[in-house]
């Protein structure tokens, strides 16, 4: 069956450290992968998109990698801050353009 | 704000009621979506509309009936729902399908928290 798994349900790290979140998938060949942030009671907010022919993408303190051989994406937040605490969702293109399938999300908590 | 609004934000209804959720986007997009988000489950895509035409129905029960009168508005009509339909219903929009990667980003509204008694 088709599956998208995000490492742990919850991840706690200390302020200033790098948070690394994992997204693994099976039985898909996505043209791109996206990462979203969701705060409690709000809709997801787009962060980054990486295409199948790109190995790495950066935006300020965020970095995403995409390994289509391993079927895995890693999402890094460097110099993490308490304001980075949220749930992070990965989403795969599974329908040729605008059909996204989401993972269950990883709840990140950055502690002082 | 993302440019996508949803009303109401909260809705409590009985199983015999009929209600509608409304979504409006002010971004000039041509694709709109309904998602369902239940506790401990991933976002589930329900419906996709491109240029007002439904292009995806993800095996959604007929008690959920979408309507897209124009590219800026999307409705979800609800009738004879079940308690397990209680969830956060999210609307999203995006530019129409395109070969350019940055056109696939989706903009979400804040959601309607639905409780079915």
pLDDT one-digit tens code per residue, B66-103: 999 999 999 999 999 999 999 999 999 998 755 444 44
Instruction: Yes or no: say if B112 and B46 are a contact pair by the CB < 8 Å rule.
Output: no
The residue to which tokens 């801050």 are assigned: A81
Using CA atoms, how far apart are residues B94 and B25, in angstroms rounded to an integer? 10
Please give the pLDDT value at position B26.
94
**Distance between CA atoms of residues B41 and B39, nearest Å:** 5
Task: Please report the pLDDT score of residue B101 as a whole number.
Answer: 43
Q: Is B100 on the interface with A (CB under 8 A)?
A: no
The pair of structure tokens assigned to B18 is: 């009929």
The count of other CB atoms within 10 Å of the CB of residue B88 is 18
Statement: residue B108 has pLDDT above 90? yes
pLDDT in tens, A62-90: 999 999 999 999 999 999 999 999 999 99
Tokens read off for B87: 């969830």
Tokens 């989706």 found at = B106
Q: How crowded is the C-beta side of B22, counted as CA atoms within 13 Å? A: 8
The answer to whether the CB atoms of A89 and B43 lie below 8 A apart is yes
C-alpha distance from A75 to closest chain B C-alpha (Å): 17
Phi, psi of A37 (to 5 degrees): -115, 135
Mean pLDDT for the stretch of residues B36-57: 91
The two tokens of residue A10 are 């919850």
Say whether pLDDT at A27 is over 90: no
Asked if A107 and A12 touch (Cβ cutoff 8 Å), the reply is no
Provide the pLDDT for residue B100.
Answer: 47
Identify the pLDDT of residue A3: 82
Q: Distance between CA A85 and CA A12 in Å, rounded?
A: 9
Name every chain A residue with its beta carbon within 8 A of the beta carbon of B98: 97
Q: Three-state SS for A80?
A: coil
Residues B42, A102: C-beta atoms closer than 8 Å: yes
Q: Is B98 in Cβ contact with A97 (below 8 Å)?
A: yes
Residues in B touching A24 (Cβ below 8 Å): none
On whether the CB atoms of residues A4 and A102 are closer than 8 A, the answer is yes
H or E element at residue B34: strand B31-37
Tokens of A88: 């992070």
């Amino acid at each position: 069956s088709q599956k998208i798994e995000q490492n742990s349900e919850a991840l706690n790290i200390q302020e200033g450290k790098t948070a690394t979140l994992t997204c693994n998938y099976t039985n898909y060949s996505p043209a791109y992968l996206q990462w979203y942030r969701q705060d409690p009671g709000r809709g997801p907010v787009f962060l980054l998109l990486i295409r199948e022919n790109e190995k790495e993408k950066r935006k300020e303190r965020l970095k995403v990698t995409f390994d289509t051989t391993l079927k895995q994406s890693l999402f890094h937040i460097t110099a993490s801050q308490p304001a980075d605490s949220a749930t992070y969702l990965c989403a795969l293109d599974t329908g040729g353009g605008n059909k996204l399938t989401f993972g269950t999300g990883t709840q990140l908590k950055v502690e002082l | 704000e993302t440019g996508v609004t949803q009303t109401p934000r909260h809705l409590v209804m009985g199983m015999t009621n009929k209600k509608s959720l409304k979504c409006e986007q002010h971004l000039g997009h041509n694709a709109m979506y309904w998602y369902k988000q239940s506790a401990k489950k991933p976002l589930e895509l329900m419906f996709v509309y491109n240029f007002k035409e439904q292009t995806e129905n993800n095996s959604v029960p007929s008690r959920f009936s979408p309507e897209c009168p124009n590219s800026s508005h999307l409705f979800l009509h609800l009738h004879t729902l079940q308690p397990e339909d209680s969830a956060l219903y999210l609307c999203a929009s995006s530019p129409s399908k395109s070969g350019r990667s940055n056109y696939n980003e989706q903009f979400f509204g804040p959601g309607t928290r639905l409780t079915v008694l």
